[in-house]
Amino acid sequence: MLLVKPPSKGTLRAIISGVLESQFCRDEVLSWYQAVLKKIEWQLPLTWEDGYWYFYSLVHINTWVGGEYFLRLKDMEEYLRDIDCEAGSFLGGNVRHLRVFESEPQLLRWPLAEVEFVDNVFERLPTTRGSFERPLSMVEHVHLLFDSDKYLLVRQFEGGGEDQLFLLGTNRDARKAADLLERLAFFNYIFP
Residue 3 located in a structural domain: no
What is the domain range of residue 51?
9-83
Task: Identify which has the larger pLDDT, 102 or 118.
Answer: 102
One domain for residues 69 and 144: no
pLDDT at residue 135 above 90?
A: no
User: Environment class of residue 38 by beta-carbon count within 10 Å: exposed (0-12), middle (13-18) or buried (19+)?
Assistant: exposed
**Run of H or E including 130:** strand 128-130
Handedness of CA 5, 138, 81, 105 (dihedral sign): negative
The answer to whether the pTM exceeds 0.85 is yes
The mean pLDDT of 140-156, rounded to a whole number, is: 96
One domain for residues 152 and 119: yes
Residue 28 located in a structural domain: yes
Overall domain count for the chain:
2
CA proximity to 143, closest of 82, 65, 185, 56 = 82
Looking at residue 134, what is its pLDDT? Answer: 83
Residues 103 and 56: their CA atoms lie apart, in Å, by 19
SS3 content of the chain, % helix, strand, coil (to 5): 35, 25, 45
Q: Of 83, 112, 128, which closes a domain?
A: 83
Residues 163 and 45: their CA atoms lie apart, in Å, by 32
Looking at residue 192, what is its pLDDT? Answer: 86
One domain for residues 73 and 150: no
Q: Of 54, 83, 112, which closes a domain?
A: 83
pLDDT at residue 187 above 80?
A: yes
pLDDT digit string, tens, across residues 73-117: 999 999 999 999 999 999 998 999 999 999 998 899 999 999 998
pLDDT digit string, tens, across residues 27-65: 999 999 999 999 998 899 999 889 999 999 999 999 999
Q: Of 20, 50, 83, which closes a domain?
A: 83
Q: How many CB atoms lie within 10 A of CB 187?
A: 12
Looking at residue 42, what is its pLDDT? Answer: 87
pLDDT at residue 162 above 80?
A: no
